Chains A and B, each alone.
Chain A
Amino acid sequence: MLCLILWAATPHFLTVSNLLNVLEQTSINATVAAGMTFVIISGGIDLSVGSVLALAGIVLALALETGVPVPAAIALSLAIGAACGGVNGLLVTFGRLPPFIATLGMMSVARGVALMLAEGRPISGFGEGFRALATERILMVPAPVLITGLLYLGAHFVLARTIFGRAAYAIGGNEEAARLSGVQVRIHKPAIYAVAGGMSAAAAVILTARLNSAQPTAGIMYELDAIAATVIGGTSLMGGEGTLLGALIGALIMGVLRNGLNLLNVSSFIQQVVIGVVIIGAVLVDVSLKRHKR
């Protein structure tokens, strides 16, 4: 529907090349939002995803620069991301810190470490083999879109079909009840945050390939974009409900809006207002609909 309006407003919107363009641009926010969805469903929040993305990107870039083979460098980067998330999870589970505080701390720590490792400078210029992750097209579809699609398929399976996925919903619904009914909260909760960290690292891989550069200042405010996509997609910040398909649609709505506003030549100041209004509007209507249902 939004697409139809945009098509009416500007003929450039509904072209195959622009739609692929939007998908490619959305891939990074969508990937981060997938991890965020796990955390929010479990009743938590992760403010560190943007910083973890920067750190994972820098680690990846340093590894590639020193000649580590591409798959190993990517694995290392994903491991670092998952480890940062894991630490968040441990702090929340065993340190009994509110997720807001634990991940706020990690947000600063990961950013600082990224800046230290990179000595404040962007690291750029990688081999063709790595950049193919962003430039390659398979049946016209850009590689980042395929990667994000596969990640979503995998994550959807995990969330909907595994014990781990059901544990996330149970913990978000009522943690005490989940624990009493035998859910291994101490194992599942850190793992949930590790998924978020790992997804941020996956987004870092795509972003680094796309820009052919890793920046220690990358990903600032991405946590808000990811939270927005998740929430627009119908996931409740109270935990216990939400879907990955929702997060994907939420991310696409934000991507389509940004793209459409660019095509219409709306100033970036107004764009921020529009995105904010959409977030608030979506959740406002959702909340009032739920109240009427009761």
Chain B
Amino acid sequence: MRNEFCALLTGLAVLLCAPACNRGGSGETGAPRVAFVMKTLNHPFFLDMQRGAEEAAERAGLALVVQAAEREIDVEKQMQIIENLLQTGIRALIVTPSGSREIASPIVKANRANVPVIVVDTRVDAKAVADNQLDLESFIGSDNYEGGRLAGDYLAKVTAGSARVAVLEGIPGHETGDSRLRGFRDALAQHPGMTMVASQPANWERDQGFTVFQNMLQAHPDIDAVFACSDLMALGAIEAIAAARRGGRIRVVGFDALEDARKAIAEGRMEASVAQSPRDMGRIAVESAARLLRGESIPPDQKVPISLVTKGAGS
């Protein structure tokens, strides 16, 4: 039993200094508190989104609380964070769901607490919305399907309509990745010369992009092009291509237009990347929350524009 006591003491000491470590946003000021629960905070995409959200919150005079689980796929932690924040009397909840179905349970709790919910980036599964009679104010996100199509059409154009293509998928069952994949496949289907030789999940991660693509190259040494549903996986694939000394002969198209990807495109190691605007997403989400709190209505579906970054344009 001594042990618990010691743990309490340690916890106490840490908690006393913890508030000193947290950076802004929490204070018990008069400003209405709005929570932004992200998938993760160790990904440049979400850091950009956070920046856009914080800038907008400052302009709108909102106290923004940004939190995320340690791991992107940890749906249970995300639920706990939302439950905990609901206890603190937030006025609106903005969330990028870690799981498009699992997010339904915490949203039910937000609805019950009369906290309006705005969903960003990853859509809540339509069946989950219907089953739980979820009340969602707005969805803000890229048109991922269109992004996938854009990538497919572009690859068909640069390979003159004939190529053997491999695909690196995101976490299976993820609406974002599934939409990109569907768009890409639909685009390829219109070009009979384009064949998909392999399609495997690499779970959004760079190291998995590396190993999965390395394995694909073993199985299909004649791959001409890769579409990765995110840039981190695309960058992993580029490393694998370099390791196999095939640099420059395999065209890589990614998604997200991360800083590293833009650099790779400028250097010719990567063909293109579909650009989302996470910063705009964060901004629009917080502005929408501000409008809701003023009693205005907001559109239920807000599309954030996408574009293609290539060596010629936009990089």
Contact = CB atoms under 8 A, between A and B. Distances in A.
B3 A246 contact: yes
B99 A267 contact: no
B114 interface: no
A233 B3 CA distance: 6
Given A18-B87, A125-B128, A283-B3, A265 B67 contact: yes
B115 interface: no
Interface residues of B, number: 56
B19 interface: yes
A71 B70 CA distance: 34
A10 B88 contact: yes
A113 interface: no
Contacts of A21: 83-84, 87
B212 to A, nearest CB: 13
A28 to B, nearest CB: 7
A218 B75 CA distance: 8
A220 interface: yes
A277 B12 contact: no
A28 B26 CA distance: 29
A207 B99 CA distance: 14
Nearest to A28: B76
Of A10, A124, A220, A272, most buried by chain B (CB within 10 Å of CB) is: A124
Contacts of A274: 11, 14-15, 18
Interface in B75-99: 75-76, 79-81, 83-85, 87-89, 99
B73 A217 contact: yes
Interface in B2-43: 2-4, 6-12, 14-16, 18-19, 21-23, 25-26, 41-42
Q: Is the interface of A mostly helix, strand, loop or mixed?
A: helix
A257 interface: yes
Contact of A265 (B14, B22, B76): B22
A5 B16 contact: yes
B131 interface: yes
A266 interface: yes
Interface residues of A, number: 66
B16 to A, nearest CB: 7
Contacts of B272: none
Contacts, number: 180
A98 interface: no
B10 A258 contact: no
B167 interface: no
A260 B22 CA distance: 13
A6 B120 CA distance: 31
Contact of A122 (B19, B84, B101): B101
Interface string B203-220: 000000000000000000
A245 to B, nearest CB: 8
Interface in A183-210: 207, 210
Interface in A227-280: 231-234, 246, 249-250, 253, 256-272, 274, 277-278
B6 A262 contact: no
B192 interface: no
Interface string B58-83: 00000001011111011110011101
Contacts of A285: 2-3, 6, 9-10
B76 A211 contact: yes
Given A211-B76, A268-B70, A278 B14 contact: yes
Nearest to B21: A270
Interface of B: 1-4, 6-12, 14-16, 18-19, 21-23, 25-26, 41-42, 65, 67-71, 73-76, 79-81, 83-85, 87-89, 99, 101-102, 104-105, 125, 127-128, 131-132, 171-173, 201
